[in-house]
């Protein structure tokens, strides 16, 4: 009897506790994605310098030190991939473009892997130097990650003013979603009474 009473008291509190973070979190900025690109290396570089990654039927090793960083990305253009995920072309800053051109020229015949939020997303074989400062991830980006990128970066061809206007639209949509969630909660509470 005591267990049932305790369960009857705790169950609504548990449901409310689980529901509140999602409703209150809707007004916060989305987390930022961490995107890095890593160049293929040799196992002889040692476990402190490289990490293994299974690619097809072969284990390859990549440098732990990334070639690029988030702060160097200036814009993106995303597209749907064949596997149901998304791909994107990332444009990098002028300084990063020079570095990308140099390392892709020096490392032709090797692989470069994209790591997004700590997981390997896609690998690309380097067959020519990349001189335009654009790196492509062909597949493996989740929709939520695309939304985070859209919030953090302008789309390719979009100027700062257009980007700020688009972000304002996102903020307005989020505020409307919060308001709708609060009204729905009030309605549920009213029906329970």
pLDDT digit string, tens, across residues 143-178? 889 988 888 888 988 888 888 888 777 767 777 777
The CB-based long-range contact list for 55-62 (8 Å cut-off, 24+ gap) reads 55/111, 55/113, 55/123, 60/111, 60/123, 62/38, 62/111, 62/113
Topology of the domain comprising 35-168: Gyrase A; domain 2 (3.30.1360)
* Residue located via tokens 């990549």: 62
pLDDT at 28: 57
Residue 15, pLDDT above cutoff 50: no
Beta bridge partners of 134: 91
Tens digit of pLDDT for each residue in 77-96? 999 999 999 999 999 999 99
* Residue located via tokens 């002889």: 44
| CA 112 – CA 138 distance, rounded (Å) | 12
Residue 23, pLDDT above cutoff 80: no
Structural domain boundaries in the chain: 35-168
Q: What is the mean pLDDT of the chain?
A: 82
- Cα Rg of the chain (Å, integer): 23
Total-model pTM: 0.70
């Amino acid at each position: 009897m005591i267990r049932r009473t305790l369960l009857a008291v705790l169950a609504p509190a548990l449901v409310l506790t689980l529901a509140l973070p999602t409703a209150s979190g809707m007004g916060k900025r989305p987390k930022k994605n961490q995107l890095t690109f890593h160049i293929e290396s040799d196992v002889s570089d040692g476990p402190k310098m490289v990490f293994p990654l299974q690619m097809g039927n072969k284990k390859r090793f990549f440098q732990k030190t990334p070639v690029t960083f988030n702060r160097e990305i200036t814009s993106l253009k995303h597209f749907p991939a064949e596997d149901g995920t998304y791909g994107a072309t990332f444009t990098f800053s002028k300084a990063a473009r020079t570095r990308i051109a140099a390392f892709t020229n020096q490392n032709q015949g090797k692989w470069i892997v994209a790591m997004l939020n700590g997981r390997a997303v896609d690998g690309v074989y380097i067959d020519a130097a990349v001189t335009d400062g654009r790196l492509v991830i062909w597949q493996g980006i989740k929709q939520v990650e695309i939304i985070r990128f859209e919030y953090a970066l302008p789309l390719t061809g979009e100027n700062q003013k257009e980007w700020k206007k688009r972000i304002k639209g996102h903020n307005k949509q989020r505020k409307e979603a919060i308001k709708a969630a609060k009204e729905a909660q009030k309605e549920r509470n009213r029906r329970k009474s």
